[in-house]
Chain A
Amino acid sequence: MKALNESRATKVRRQVLRHFVLGFASILMIYPLLWMVMSSFKPDELIFSDPTALPTSFDLTSYFQGWFTFRESFTTFYMNSFIIAFFAVVGNLMACSMTAYAFARLEFRGRKIWFVLMLGTLMLPYHVTLVPQYVLFLKLGWVNTFLPLIVPKFLAVDAFFIFLMVQFFRGIPREIDEAAIMDGCGPWRIYWKIMLPLSTPVMATAAIFSFIWTYDDFLGPLIYLNDMSQYTVPLALRAFVDSSGGESLYGELFAMSTLSLVPVFIVFLAFQRLIIRGVALGALKR
């Protein structure tokens, strides 16, 4: 009886300690967000002259004015960002998982060569392919449309996700597909009915990264979009500050930056549950 009590006490103590450590770490992590939110309530002349001071009032003007600062409102920018991010997620999940399945499980000639070339595409700094790629899309007539930002995702150009999925697919025991082959399943069915369902954590991971990286990307939209009616959120955010020393709107910048984190946060919370739920691999395995 006594021993049991003691172990409960250590358990509680351990829980408290864990929360203390995690909580402290969270504050460290969350500090920039707090600073940004604080700054969004301050007038511009106070943001940098006294950066750590608390705001004296919760003035929401930066939020209202920030939303409507430009010719197009942030409603447009959010719509554009969501359209692009949505297709990027769908495209990446479909195309990269198919490619990864081919590399992880299927037998075909030239597989190693293709795999090496695929990895190679990760290694070249993107600044030097930027201009040739722009010329290519220009010739295709795709500049000033969303196509250069979406089509490549359906063609699995993000080798990161392919490699990621290969590593996870290879963690699925081969006995499972061998059993399926016995039952007369072809590669497509194995991919669709076995691989994908058993890979929820990695697919959710890929979905989170696809969404966040596409949503945060500013170089692609900067290069390929011209019309403000097609701007994405990060492109619009960059227009608040004049780094050449002209008039800038810092309060509005921080207000809109704060808002821009909301969708990523929601997507993260939604998809991380899929990662955490995990798969009942053990049950299937033995």
Chain B
Amino acid sequence: MTLKMDRRGFGRLMGGGASLWALASTGALAQANGSVRLIWWGNPERDKRTNAVVELYEGGGMGEVVPETYAWGDYWQKLATQAAGNSLPDVLQMDYRYIFEWARRGQLEPLDGYFGNEIDVSDYDENQLKGGMVDGKTYGISLGANSMTHVYNKAVLSNIGYELPDSTTWTTEDFVNIGKELKDQLPDGMAFSENMGSQEPRLQTWVRSRGKDLYTSEGELGFDVQDVIDYFVYWKMMQDEGLTQPADVQAQDSGKMEERMHVNGKSLFGFIHSNQLVGNQQLMTDEVDIVMIPNAGDSPGHYMKPSMFFSMSANAGDKAAAAKFISFFVSDEGANDILLIERGVTADASIRERITPGLTETEQKIIRFLNMVDTRVGALPPPPPANAGEIDRALRPAWESVAFGQVTPEEGATAWYDDAARILKR
């Protein structure tokens, strides 16, 4: 009796199992020859354009492409998991911050061998190509350039009737003086600037304008503890003078565009990368514009940063096909008519010329800005060492302990500097 009932129960279970197996046939990993798996992070606009290029590529009979896309926050977890399982897609969108790490850990394919064959980068800017080099080999083709900027609320400034000085030569002192002058004329609740004490890229322009950089080519810290102390002292002064918001208000910005001080009308100035301008403008009714970052030393700290790359997985199934797709994506005119500058301003001179007239006013601002910066940039920084990301993330709590008055700028800066040195050794 007992057994009989049990058997019936399990029969039911097995029946359920069988229908599950039927479900399983809905898709297998596309690894067939000539087919390319492509993965990127992004947003609906980027997805639309990228998918259109994929269709153009497939329509031209050049091969099949299987696209995958995720939001930035999810992308890296997905990619790391796939890498751990040796099932990375063939073509990967890579970020400047991560490409060194991924290349050095053997996940990426050097592309130099494909140049002149499958990949056509003859019109590419030399410097931008170098941006994808790690230890002498090219592991990524830049999809566009950007640079760091100060973004400001143009509508508010023209209401006041204030004219900004030439941003190619202004200094951090000028910035403070302008702030003091404008402070009382700003709308209610708006401070002069976002507090950038926790922004690692801002710190980088700071030390670069003093002729140093964050890291040396040997992978050690490229600046002195005094540089960080000065940096923290400067931003603490800005906060104490009321030129930036109090620490708790500033901390509400965790880095998302919708939380930024200038987006919410809490500051006149903010810090963004030039390719974020379109997304930034989209969230504001007031018109914004971008200018160069004030110098903390003798020269501008800017450089032209590849906004992102296409890289190839070291385990790609059909490497020639993957290379062909990368080449199509960066150098085909039809493809770039669709892509425009959504991923950054292309390093291909002829394509840049071709697409510029069709851009929106906001996009034109980016081009104008990069043209202004282009002649004033320094060399690309040496590739950051493996744990650079962790050091970047440690800057924020270090700065916040200063901002909230828990420690002095000197103590906070020294603690972070020592932490950074220790993280590099770990």
Contact = CB atoms under 8 A, between A and B. Distances in A.
Contacts of B389: none
Interface size bracket, B side: 35 or more
Contacts of A229: 27
B414 interface: no
B199 interface: no
B23 A150 contact: yes
A282 B9 CA distance: 29
A248 B282 CA distance: 8
Interface string A127-162: 000110011001001111111001100100000000
B84 interface: yes
Given A223-B81, A230-B27, A154 B282 contact: no
A193 B51 CA distance: 55
Contacts of B280: 245
A241 B85 contact: no
Given A44-B282, A138-B85, A151-B20, A49 B73 contact: no
A44 B23 contact: no
Interface string B7-48: 011001100110010011111110000000100011111110
Nearest to B255: A243
A248 B6 contact: no
A184 to B, nearest CB: 7
Contact of A135 (B13, B43, B85): B85
A240 interface: yes
B69 A188 contact: no
Interface string B69-90: 1111110011011001101000
Contacts of B17: 151, 154
Interface string A47-74: 1110000000000000000000111000
A215 interface: no
A226 B20 CA distance: 19
A188 B5 contact: yes
Contact of A242 (B16, B46, B77, B80): B46
B44 A188 contact: no
Contacts of B74: 218, 222, 238
Contacts of A240: 43-44
Interface residues of A, number: 59
Given A131-B81, A223-B81, A246-B42, A45 B72 contact: no
Contact of A49 (B26, B42, B255, B284): B284
Interface in A62-99: 69-71, 83, 87, 90-91, 94-95, 98
A69 B47 CA distance: 10
B227 to A, nearest CB: 26
Contact of B278 (A47, A98, A247, A250): A247
A91 B13 CA distance: 9
Contacts of A46: 285
A222 B265 CA distance: 35
Contacts of B25: 145
A173 interface: no
A87 B71 contact: no
B20 A150 contact: yes
Contact of B23 (A146, A226, A245, A250): A146
Contacts of B1: 184, 186, 189
Contacts of B67: 71, 228
A237 to B, nearest CB: 10
Contact of A154 (B16, B42, B279): B16
B283 A45 contact: yes
A239 interface: yes
B273 interface: yes
B272 interface: yes
Interface of A: 44-49, 69-71, 83, 87, 90-91, 94-95, 98, 130-131, 134-135, 138, 141-147, 150-151, 154, 184, 186-189, 192, 218, 222-223, 226-230, 238-250, 252
Given A131-B81, A243-B256, A246-B275, 5 more contacts: A142-B24, A238-B74, A243-B255, A246-B278, A250-B283
13 contacts: A48-B264, A49-B264, A69-B44, A70-B47, A187-B5, A222-B70, A222-B74, A241-B71, A245-B273, A247-B279, A248-B43, A248-B283, A252-B44
